Amino acid sequence: MATQYQKRMAARRSTSDISRLAQQYQQEIAGVTGQYETEYAKYSQAVNEKMKPFEEEMTKYQSTVMPAYESQMSAYKKKLEQYNATLAEIEKNPVIEKKGKETKWIPAPIADPYAIGPQYYPVEEEYTYYEPREIPKFTEKAPVAPVAPKSPATEKFDQTQFDEQRKNIEQTFKREVGERRAARLGAVSRKATRPLLGGAKP
């Protein structure tokens, strides 16, 4: 039968074996993580370089182009409002009253004894007439909205290979630990069913 010392040593070897597996697992996971971080840093740098011209154009668009367009649009809307107000006023008063004068010839009140034929003299009379108000034309054109810069297409970072590596390392670790535990349980079971393996005397 195994002594207490032998049992402790066997337990230590078993625990130490699994600890080494855990340490190896952590090292392999750390290695994959390091590779992932390196590749992702390269990917981020490439994306930043690709996006840099777009970001510069967008900054110019937001700080210069759009404010200029908004100012032009504001001025256009103001003129349009003024034009619509003029049309509304014309609609209320579509004609303009005007005064005119015309000359009429009327018979002379006192006939000239030396004149031959009918005798007339001019009289200027004032009259009122109406003219339609002129409808002005709106010649202003709305400013064309600027086209915003288009972001370049960027590929999504593919981390599939790193996920697969982590998955394989984890599966290998679990399998190794499982095999060692199964072997230890098997040894204990054999000792229980076969006393001679445990050092028992017949």
pLDDT in tens, 134-167: 999 999 999 999 999 999 998 999 999 999 999 9
Whether 76 has a pLDDT exceeding 70, the answer reads: yes
Name the pLDDT band for 111 (thresholds 50, 70, 90).
low
Structure tokens at 190: 């054999």
Reported as a single tens digit per residue, the pLDDT across 177-199 is 888 777 666 555 555 545 454 44
Say what the pTM is: 0.54
Q: Give the long-range contacts of residues 179-187, CB within 8 A, separation 24 or more.
A: 180/14, 180/17, 180/18, 180/21, 184/14
Q: Where do the structural domains in the chain lie, given as residue ranges?
A: 4-94+133-142+157-198, 95-132
pLDDT at position 11, please? Answer: 45
pLDDT at residue 86 is higher than 80: yes
Q: What is the pLDDT of residue 202?
A: 45
pLDDT over 70, % of the chain = 78
In the numeric block, the tokens 């001679």 are attached to 196
